[in-house]
Structure 1
Amino acid sequence: MKTIKISAALALSAALGLSACNDPAQLAVNTDPQKNTKQGAIAGGIIGAGLGAISGASNKTTAVLGGAAAGAILGGAIGASLDQQAAELRQQLASEGITVTNTGDRLVVSLPQDITFATDSFTVRDNLRPDLARLSQHLNKYPKSTVQVIGHTDSDGDAAYNQQLSERRAAAVAAELEQNGVSVYRIVTIGRGEEQPIASNLTEEGKARNRRVEIVIIPQK
């Protein structure tokens, strides 16, 4: 019994470690088109095995194997769906600078500030609205997901002001999605201010990368 519990803990720790490696800011170029499907199956299998091990089933071996198989199927299906969704979004979104990152368990659509807002503004630019409409259509096509809209700034200026600006910009993008039919109950808006840079704030190029709004699409499991 003790060995099984230890194995479950190790399995869950390994799964969390695998998920942590999918931080969008640390991702390498994905050269394998099925990489995220495979990662999803592996992570699902690990978690399923761990949950089977700590379940109340009388036959722990059967529970572990059954949990691993079920988890692998579910994780692989989610990974394959995200691969497909990422490919569709990359074809549909026309504005230069928009990126779509598949982390293996979610999609991150990053909208650079320069194409989303004017300086010191939280009004969405007119030329971005067609892309947000296409993104909304995509979200409505795949309704079984939650959507986080996260605003980020660089470190210039007052931190409290940057926090408020990031919140307002996230809310403005979320409002565009809602106006295009995405259910308000799926959307969560978050302002991160200058807390989560993806590049150095010591260079103009780095600051430009940090000024962004991210739309994070998380499948419901």
Structure 2
Amino acid sequence: MKLLKTAAVFICLTATGCSSLNHEPSSSSPSTRSAASSEKSWWPFGGKKTAPETAAKIDEAATHAWLDAYEPRLREALKDSKFTLERRDNVLIVTAPVDSSFNPDRPGMLMPTTLGPFSRVAKLVEGDSKTGVLVLGHADTSGQAPVNRQLSQERAQAVAAIFRLSGLRRDRLLLKGVGSDMPRAANDSREGRALNRRVEIVLTPQHTLMALLAQYNTPAKAGPVLAVTQTK
């Protein structure tokens, strides 16, 4: 019964577009936001709306120690799920495929079966003040670009809602819908499009979160997510 109540809360949030997370000014509609999204970060929790001019320097030794300690704990949290975990340079990325994670009839709503692994990752992160989270929503190219970007943002909001409900502080959680800008595979096949429809949870040491976000806001670096080399 407790699990069903929890699932109902999460589904309610995703069904309403996670309005409690969205503090974007009304002037930034999907049509205007899509044009500026490659230059500005999308801040769902208020406060400043642009990344600082200077990014924190990365302590490579400390970051690799964090990665070594965190990776096995994440793998345990994701055991028996359809999520995957990758270690890319200075970040850990949990990937949730859209096709098995979201309701096919309501594309921004999470399936109840995904709440368990999402919640385990969220509780793991919430209990570690040294970790920051960037949630990225991705789409394929089967629709119009503004629609894809909005849909990818709604999916990122749905996942971010779980982290907020688990108690993650606002200064440790960012999200962004990148549409079809960062494919993992070619969009000319059903399999490729399925790979590109995903939500990625990027975990990084909290003090490098802003530097990681900046990478996704720089048009020159807009490419496959696999190209991440530093810690937006």
Fold in common (TM above 0.5): yes
1:147 aligned onto 2:133: yes
- 4+ runs of 1 displaced by more than 3 Å? none
Which among 170, 185, 202 is matched to residue 171 of structure 2?
A: 185
State the AA in 1 paired with 2:144. D
Aligned residue in 2 for 1:97: 82
Aligned residue in 1 for 2:60: 75
> Given the superposition, is the C-alpha separation of residues 124 and 95 from structure 1 closer, same or farther in structure 2, using an over 3 Å criterion?
farther
- Counterpart CA distance in 1 for 2:190 and 2:198 is 14
Contact 2:126 2:166 (C-alpha < 8 Å) held by counterparts: no
Contact 1:82 1:104 (C-alpha < 8 Å) held by counterparts: no
- Counterpart CA distance in 2 for 1:78 and 1:189 is 22
Q: Which runs of 5+ in 1 are unaligned?
A: 1-50, 52-70
State the AA in 2 paired with 1:88. R
SS in structure 2 at match of 1:168? helix
- Rg comparison, structure with higher value: 1
TM-score of the aligned structures, taking structure 2 as reference length: 0.61
Q: Which runs of 5+ in 2 are unaligned?
A: 1-56, 209-232
- Aligned pairs for 1:189-204 within 5 A: 189-204=175-190
Aligned residues: 150
Task: Please report the RMSD computed on the Cα atoms of aligned residues, expressed in angstroms.
Answer: 1.8
Question: Which moved further from structure 2: 95-104 or 160-169?
Answer: 95-104
Aligned residue in 2 for 1:176: 162
TM-score of the aligned structures, taking structure 1 as reference length: 0.63
Question: Between the two proteins, what is the percent identity of the paired residues?
Answer: 33
1:109 aligned onto 2:91: no
- Counterpart CA distance in 1 for 2:82 and 2:114 is 11
- Counterpart CA distance in 2 for 1:141 and 1:77 is 19
Deviations 1:24-52 (A, max 9, x none): xxxxxxxxxxxxxxxxxxxxxxxxxxx9x
- Counterpart CA distance in 2 for 1:197 and 1:97 is 19
- Aligned pairs for 1:104-143 within 5 A: 104-119=89-104, 121-143=107-129
C-alpha displacement of 1:115: 2.3
1:87 aligned onto 2:49: no
- Counterpart CA distance in 2 for 1:201 and 1:213 is 17
Contact 2:77 2:120 (C-alpha < 8 Å) held by counterparts: yes
- Using CA pairs under 8 Å that are at least 6 residues apart, name the structure with larger relative contact order, 1 or 2: 2
Deviations 1:54-100 (A, max 9, x none): xxxxxxxxxxxxxxxxx8xx422320221221111112213543111
C-alpha displacement of 1:107: 1.0
- Counterpart CA distance in 1 for 2:194 and 2:120 is 25
